[in-house]
Amino acid sequence: MREYTTQMDAAGKGIVTPQIAEVLKNETISQELLMERVAKGHIAIPANRNHTNLRAAGVGEGLTTKINVNLGVSKDVCSFDGEMKKAELALKFKADAIMDLSVSGDTEGFRKRLVKDIPVMIGTVPIYDTLTRTGKATEDLTIEDWFKTVEIHAENGIDFITIHAGLTSKCVQSITTNPRLCGIVSRGGSILFEWIKKTGTENPFYEHFDRLLDICEKHDVCISLGDGLRPGAIKDSTDAPQIEELITLGELTKRAWERKVQVMIEGPGHVPLHEVEMNMKLQKKLCHNAPFYVLGPLVTDIAPGYDHITSAIGGALAAMHGADFLCYVTPAEHLRLPSIEDVKEGIIASKIAAHAGDLAKGIPGAIDRDNAMSRARGKLDWEGQFEQALDPEKALTYRDSSRPKDGGDVCTMCGDFCAVKRVEGLL
C-alpha cells in the first residue's frame, strides 16, 4: 500500500517523492521550503500516477514561472498528427505544460498518445469532452455524464484538469444583473452557464465537489479551478461576476486541501495594465496563496493578429506581481485555430514574459543567462550569443541574412560605428 495519496499528502508526511526530487533538481529552492509549500498548497506538482514518463515540474511560490501551450483539434481543422507536431515544438522550446483542448474526433486516443509520448505535464478540460464524447445537447447531459468524463481523463493520465466549479447559480444571477460588454468568453464557462440556465439546477461540479475530489485524490490529479467568468474585454475586467466566482474558488480550494488534493487557480483574461497587479494580489488573498495560472492577461482588445504581444506585456507584469503559470497566447487568438508557426510565436512571447517576471521577482539564478548573453555581446562573441538565445535558429538566420561586406565581426546596423568595437581594449 502506498504511503501517500497525493504529492501534497507526501510533502506533509515528509516523504520526498520522485516528483519532488525532480523539482528540486531543476529549481533553486531548498528541500525544506519546497516541502513546506507543497504541503500547504502554495506549490502544486501536477503528476498523475498514470503519466509514467513525466518530468515533473512545480508551479507556485518561489519557483520559476511556468508556461503552458494550448493545442487540440476542432471540427473544421481536425489533424491529430498536426497537433502532435505542435506538442513536439513545445518540447523543443522548453514549454512546461501542454493542454489538449480538442473538441472533435477521437479525443481519448489523442490524449493517450500525448501522455505516452510527451514528458511534460498535460492538462485538459473535461467539460468540453463531455459534449464531444456523448454527442448530447447540453441540457440533456446528466451528472453521470459529467463525472464519467472526468474519470476517463484521470485514468488516461492527465496531470491537471480545468473544472469551472465556481460558476454557481449565484454567479449566473450576478452576470445577469451585471451585464457585460462581452458576456462569457470561456468555453467551459459558457457550457455550464447554458446547463444551469436550461436545466434550472446547480453546477454539478460545485454541488458534487466531493465526488470530484474522490477522483482527483485517487489518481493524484491537480484541479485547475477554472474562471468561467473571466473578462473577455478590457471594460469587463475585475467586475462583480469575476470576483463573485473568485471568492467561490477560494472556498473550494480549502475543501480540496482538506483532502490533500492539489489546486491551481485560473485567472483573467483581458485586464488593463493598471489592474494587473491588483488582480494578482486579490487572487492570492482570496485563494489563500494557491498557485495562479493566467491566460495572458491581454492588456488591450485592439490587436488581433498580435495578441501574443498584448499577452506577453500583461504576462510579464502578472508574473512580476505573483502569477506562477502563464498560458500562452498566439497571433491567431480570436481569429482561427493556430498554425505551427503561430504556436512558435506564442511560445517565445510567453517564455519572454515568464523570464522577465522571474527577473523582477528575483528568482535566484534567473539573471545568469542574461549575464552570459551580455558577456558574449561585450566580446562580439556571436556563437556565445546564439547559445543563450531563446530561439537560436532565428537569431542566426537574422545574422546570416545581412553580414558586413568586409566580413568583420560587427553587424550591419552599426558597422564601423559599433560601440563595442570602438572601446575594445580601452575599458
Last residue of a domain, one of 308, 329, 361: 361
418 is in an annotated binding site: yes
Residues contacting 406, CB < 8 A, separation 6+: none
408 is in an annotated binding site: no
Residue range of the domain that includes 374 = 368-422
pLDDT digits (tens, 9 = 90+) for 202-260: 999 999 999 999 999 999 999 999 999 999 999 999 999 999 999 999 999 999 999 99
Q: Are residues 120 and 222 in the same domain?
A: yes
102 is in an annotated binding site: no
266 is in an annotated binding site: yes
Rounded to an integer, what distance in angstroms lies between the CA atom of residue 363 and that of residue 366?
A: 6
Reported as a pLDDT band with limits 50, 70 and 90, residue 425 is confident
Q: Are residues 335 and 378 in the same domain?
A: no
370 is in an annotated binding site: no
The verdict on residue 1 lying in a domain is no
Helix (H, G, I), strand (E, B) or coil at 71: strand
Radius of gyration of the chain (CA): 22
DSSP 8-state secondary structure symbol assigned to residue 270: B
Q: Are residues 356 and 376 in the same domain?
A: no
pLDDT digits (tens, 9 = 90+) for 284-323: 999 999 999 999 999 999 999 999 999 999 999 999 999 9
The verdict on residue 427 lying in a domain is no
Report the amino acid identity of residue 354.
Answer: A
Reported as a pLDDT band with limits 50, 70 and 90, residue 406 is confident
79 is in an annotated binding site: no
Q: Are residues 167 and 234 in the same domain?
A: yes
Query: Residue 119's domain is classified under what CATH number?
Result: 3.20.20.540
DSSP 17-56: -HHHHHHHHHS-S-HHHHHHHHHHTSEE----TT-TT---
Across all residues in the chain, what is the average pLDDT? 97
244 is in an annotated binding site: no
CB 89 within 8 A of CB 344: yes
pLDDT, average across residues 411-418? 92
Interhelix angle 307-320/273-286, nearest 10 degrees: 50
Cross-strand bridge partners of residue 66? 325
Q: Are residues 339 and 417 in the same domain?
A: no
Reported as a pLDDT band with limits 50, 70 and 90, residue 1 is low
Q: Are residues 418 and 357 in the same domain?
A: no
153 is in an annotated binding site: no
The verdict on residue 2 lying in a domain is no
131 is in an annotated binding site: no
Q: Are residues 50 and 117 in the same domain?
A: yes
Rounded to an integer, what distance in angstroms lies between the CA atom of residue 342 and that of residue 354?
A: 18
Residues contacting 330, CB < 8 A, separation 6+: 307, 308, 338, 342, 343, 345, 346
Count of domains forming the chain: 2
Q: Are residues 182 and 276 in the same domain?
A: yes
DSSP 80-111: HHHHHHHHHHHHHTT-SEEEE---SS-HHHHH
The verdict on residue 90 lying in a domain is yes
Rounded to an integer, what distance in angstroms lies between the CA atom of residue 15 and that of residue 7?
A: 9
99 is in an annotated binding site: yes
128 is in an annotated binding site: yes
Q: Are residues 413 and 299 in the same domain?
A: no
Last residue of a domain, one of 314, 332, 361: 361
402 is in an annotated binding site: no
pLDDT digits (tens, 9 = 90+) for 90-122: 999 999 999 999 999 999 999 999 999 999 999
Q: Judge whether residue 405 has pLDDT over 60.
A: yes
Q: What is the pLDDT of residue 356?
A: 98
The verdict on residue 390 lying in a domain is yes
Reported as a pLDDT band with limits 50, 70 and 90, residue 281 is very high
The verdict on residue 231 lying in a domain is yes
Q: Distance of alpha carbon 79 from its chain centroid, rounded?
A: 23
Q: Are residues 170 and 22 in the same domain?
A: yes
334 is in an annotated binding site: yes
The verdict on residue 230 lying in a domain is yes
Q: Are residues 354 and 372 in the same domain?
A: no
Q: Are residues 161 and 291 in the same domain?
A: yes
Q: What is the pLDDT of residue 427?
A: 86
Last residue of a domain, one of 341, 361, 381: 361
Q: What is the pLDDT of residue 147?
A: 98
171 is in an annotated binding site: no
The verdict on residue 286 lying in a domain is yes
CA 327 to each of CA 41, 101, 294, 340, 348: distance values in angstroms, whole numbers, following the listed order: 20, 13, 6, 17, 12
Reported as a pLDDT band with limits 50, 70 and 90, residue 407 is confident
